[in-house]
Structure 1
């Protein structure tokens, strides 16, 4: 009975959000959106029941405001028509109000877990990144960060300035990163330093 009620509620939610599919159909970023959907579903779908991409898209739009923020970002990146349509959809389908995405380019598969009080203002972000709540990726007068592929930025972390966070990096909770981070590292602390590099425990300062 419980599973039936959950499924019924999900179906109603998908019906209500169905008009948002118009944005997808008009978008030039369909493939990127589909890749976003597949990663989010892999992470959040506890029931693990395979469904068509468009069904999963509606599920995410109806249940995760953070996904709506990313969806609107993808649509706006398509063209001016998409930008106008997003402004209309925002009236009826609210996004996460304290999640701000301002980035020239974001690779596919960005996952935002708990978008509360999160600012994503990077020059670019690679593929399959993971950003938690209360994260600030921000700029200084010198510029904005470049984030590589497969980067995780944990809750409360700050990544600021014209720096590069290379591939396969994990930024620990509440860390403050103001210098470049090499590939395959775990960084923690204020200011951040390396505690693991290429799978080996170390203690190295960022340069």
Structure 2
């Protein structure tokens, strides 16, 4: 019954969702937003290989029940400034990313700001994170499959390598090697994945 009620609420919200839904429908089959939807569906609902109507329905569900997803969708979709007011963003989550790879997942987004030159595929972001400037111009470059845990700070002109994990409340002010887990203030490498395990997935 609870699930039926939630599905009904999504259906009632279609009048507010149609602009973003049309944008997803008209986008390319390999558009980053579609990879985002699939990753959120896999992590949250254990759904695999979504396509067609199931993918569009899951987009609507995420838009209604996950405000963090709205911020990500509006970053991706064209003309979002014209219709974003219909389904408001999470105000405390701010994303300023020149280039963001597909498959981004934001587990919790409150009190988080991300300003990066580029972030690769399959990025995992938690709450109360700051990624950004150390001066007027210097911001991080983050690779594929990177995970950033709650409270982390990553600032300045640095590179976080593929498959790296930045631990809770860690402060990163220098480069992080691929596959490394860093922890502490300042962040220190406490573990490294074998090279063959460094992949886009970040959760391996």
Same fold (TM over 0.5): yes
Correspondence 1:107 to 2:101 = yes
For residues 54-98 of structure 1, what are the alpha-carbon distances to aligned partners after superposition, in whole Å with 9 as ceiling and x for unaligned? 1111111111111111111112xxxxxx3xx32221222101101
> Which residue number in structure 1 is paired with residue 151 of structure 2?
156
1:35 paired to 2:24: no
- The equivalent residue for 2:202 is none
Gap regions ≥5 residues in structure 2: 195-204
Contact 2:37 2:58 in 1 (8 A): yes
Moved more, 55-64 or 94-103: 55-64
- Take 1:197 and 1:177, find their aligned partners in 2: how far apart are those partners? 16
Q: How far 1:11 sits from its partner (Å)?
A: 3.3
Kept after mapping to 1: 8 A contact 2:112/2:127: yes
Distance 1:16 1:87 in 2: 14
SS for the counterpart of 1:186 is strand
Could you say which residue in structure 2 is the equivalent of 1:21?
A: 21
Residues 1:186 and 2:181 aligned together: yes
Q: Could you say what secondary structure the match of 1:5 adopts?
A: helix
Shift, 1:125, TM fit: 0.2
Matched, 1:72 2:74: yes
Which segments of structure 1 move beyond 6 Å, counting only runs of 4 or more? none
Q: Kindly report the root-mean-square deviation, in angstroms, between the aligned alpha carbons of the 2 structures.
A: 2.1
Q: Which of these residues, 53, 56, 70, is aligned with residue 54 of structure 1?
A: 56
Unmatched runs of 5 consecutive residues or more in structure 1:
76-81, 200-207
Contact 2:16 2:87 in 1 (8 A): no
**Alpha-carbon separation, structure 2, partners of 1:89 and 1:160:** 32
Structure with greater Cα Rg = 1
The two structures have a TM-score, normalised by structure 1, of: 0.83
Could you state the TM-score of these two structures normalised by the residue count of structure 2?
0.84
1:116 to 2:110 alignment: yes
The change in CA–CA distance for 1:147 and 1:28 in structure 2 (over 3 A counts) is: same
- Residue deviations 1:5-37 (CA, integer Å, cap 9, x gap): 333334334564233223334556962111110
Matched pairs, number? 190
